[in-house]
Structure 1
Amino acid sequence: MSDNLMEKVNAFSERLKIGGAEVGRKMSAGMSSFSFKVKELLQGPNQEDKLVEDATAETLDEPDWAMNLDICDMINHEKVSSVELIRGIKKRIVIKNARVQYLALLLLETCAKNCEKTFSEVAAERVLDEIVKLIDDPQTVVNNKNKALMLIEAWGESTSELHYLPVYEETYKVFLISVS
């Protein structure tokens, strides 16, 4: 009887260890994400965020193509971080202002067409996930949904650079199914 009790205690102890390790991993991941957000809040916008905000300002009547191309030049000459810039664009895509979303999609398209590094950052920063959410959101205006769909379609037809990425491959397959 005491052996059976000992086995139960050991089994319970193992479950606690495994469960505790899992909780620890989840807490670490959550704290890492949380600390990034706190750091972002305390530091305020960086240079790249400021550039993206200026290029996607809701006060713009139309895209500022000169500014968008200047941003591309800065990326290509490594004067700004392409990773931070794509993060800034992603932040603007999720804003619930249709004008800002549209300008952010145009800036993303401009960067993707004119900057070599941009594709890998689009995937790494999970921008495609946000574009899919934008498309699926019933509150997104039709113009923005169409622009997002056109981006996915254009990337699928024009480049093989993204095809090795599972997130893009899945997104493109879903797109093809939805339009057929």
Structure 2
Amino acid sequence: MAQSIAQAEQLVEQATASSLSGPEWALNMAVCDLSNADPAIGEMVVRALQRKLQDESPRVVLHALILVEALVKNGSPALHAHVGARSFLNAVAALTDGSLGFDVQKQSLLLIKQWADAFAGAGALSAFQDVYRQLKLQGADFPELENDAPVFTPPPSSLPAVATAASGFDSVAAGKRTRAQQLEKLHADLAVVMDKAAQLRDIWTGGAQGEALEDALDFLRQCQPRMNTLIEGGIMGKIDEKTLEKCLTANDHLLKVLEECRSGGSGSRHSEDLMSFDSPPRAGRKSDVSSGMSHLSLREAEAGGARPSSPTRASTLASMDDGAL
């Protein structure tokens, strides 16, 4: 335990070092893995990051903000609670005055807005909304969300896979991937969603209960709110028709299996308390799927000549706008 805490502390130091020219995603995701493995480590990491947010170096603070973003996107509810503590959010809010430069100001404003949207309705995490509303009342000018990746990125398989995907959602210096690589990753992620929907149907119809069921439900529930935005972008002609069709197909499978579970279809005997579709997703275990799906540039898609498609069906995987899927 002590060794793991020391390792986490060292990783936080390395991931926020002023000598770094940009985020080190392998380090960031290693911090996420350790934080999820032990609640005590997660709490320590958040405390360490709060101290980093008070550093005088804009670069250190920016790296800390990016690491916090990764923790929320890949962290457990316990981590969300630590980040959602008023003392921590106040430390982030203090950075919105611009005293440490534009990049730090923009990142802090983006995170506060992103979290307020993601945790809306989560009573236990009301501080996210409170801080956002307070800054709005004070006249803070929140930038448009770049939606580089969803806040909830559904179960890490392994650090290398997660770190590879995470490198795609650098909200400060994005755009490393080529468009072909982005599309390839998106298609692979859609296949994972299809596979997970099939797994959930098998688990559900088989009458199994427990962690396997909850994991599959959480994964798909976390993906569902991203699919609508992704498909809306396709309908607007910002991705090609083939990719849009894959999105629509994956979304249909996702919605059908969730509806079967919610309505108790296929003779299932599960209790309804396993699913509250109006509540925020658990997002405790995460994968690289939706983070990878989130990073396809819509502007590049338009430039590439993607043709508008007719709005046949609508639903959701990557939070995105005109900046990224």
Alignment of 1:33-48 (within 5 A): 46-48=6-8
For 2:133, the aligned partner's letter is: K
Give the 3 Å change call, closer, same or farther, for CA 175–66 of structure 1 in structure 2: same
Structure 1 89/162 Cα, relative in aligned 2: closer, same or farther at 3 Å?
Answer: farther
**Is 2:27 aligned against 1:61?**
no
Tell me: CA distance 1:78–1:161, structure 2 relative to 1, closer, same or farther (3 Å): farther
Kept in 1: contact 2:84–2:128 (CA 8 A)? yes
Residues 23-172 of structure 1: matches in 2 within 5 Å?
46-78=6-38, 81-116=41-76, 117-124=78-85, 126-136=87-97, 138-160=98-120, 163-172=123-132
Select the structure of larger CA radius of gyration: 1
**Is this contact kept in 1: 2:120–2:129, CA < 8 A?**
no
Please give the alpha-carbon distance, in whole angstroms, between the structure 2 residues aligned to 1:47 and 1:91.
17
Q: Secondary structure at the match of 1:140?
A: coil
Q: 1:176 aligned to 2:136?
A: yes
Deviation per CA, 1:75-102, whole angstroms, max 9, x where unpaired? 2222861110001111111001000000
Distance 1:50 1:62 in 2: 18
Please give the alpha-carbon distance, in whole angstroms, between the structure 2 residues aligned to 1:70 and 1:49. 11
Q: 1:161 to 1:78 in 2, by over 3 A?
A: farther
* Cα 1:115–1:165 shift into 2, 3 Å: closer
* Cα distance in structure 2, aligned partners of 1:167 and 1:99: 26
Runs of 4+ in 1 over 3 A off after TM superposition: 45-48, 160-167
8 Å CA contact retained: 1:153, 1:175: no
- SS of 1:81 mapped into structure 2: helix
Residue 161 of structure 1 and its aligned partner are, at CA, apart by 6.9
**Counterparts of 2:121 and 2:33, CA distance in 1:** 21
Offset at 1:49? 2.8
Q: Is the 8 A contact 1:98 1:141 kept in 2?
A: yes
TM-score of the two chains, using structure 2 as the length reference: 0.38
Shift of 1:51: 1.8
Q: Structure 1, residues 23-73: CA drift from partner, whole Å, max 9, x if none?
A: xxxxxxxxxxxxxxxxxxxxxx94433221111001111100011111111
Q: Give per-residue Cα distances to partners, 1:103-154, cap 9 Å, x unaligned.
A: 0000000001001122101133721011111213x52211101100000000
Cα deviation for residue 168 of structure 1 reads: 2.8
Residues in 2 aligned to 1:161 and 1:89: alpha-carbon distance in whole angstroms = 26
- Specify the code of the residue in structure 1 equivalent to 2:84: A
Q: Which runs of 5+ in 2 are unaligned?
A: 143-325
8 Å contact 2:28–2:67 — kept in the other structure? yes
- Greater helix proportion: 1
Which one has more relative contact order, counting CA pairs under 8 Å at least 6 apart? 2
Deviation at 1:164, TM superposition (A): 3.6
Amino acid across the alignment from 2:82: E
Q: Which moved more, 1:71-80 or 1:86-95?
A: 71-80
Q: TM-score, normalised by structure 1?
A: 0.66
Q: Distance in 2 between matches of 1:78 and 1:51?
A: 15
Change (3 A) 1:48 1:112: same
For 1:89 and 1:119, the matched residues in 2 are separated by 14
Offset at residue 173 of structure 1 (A): 0.6
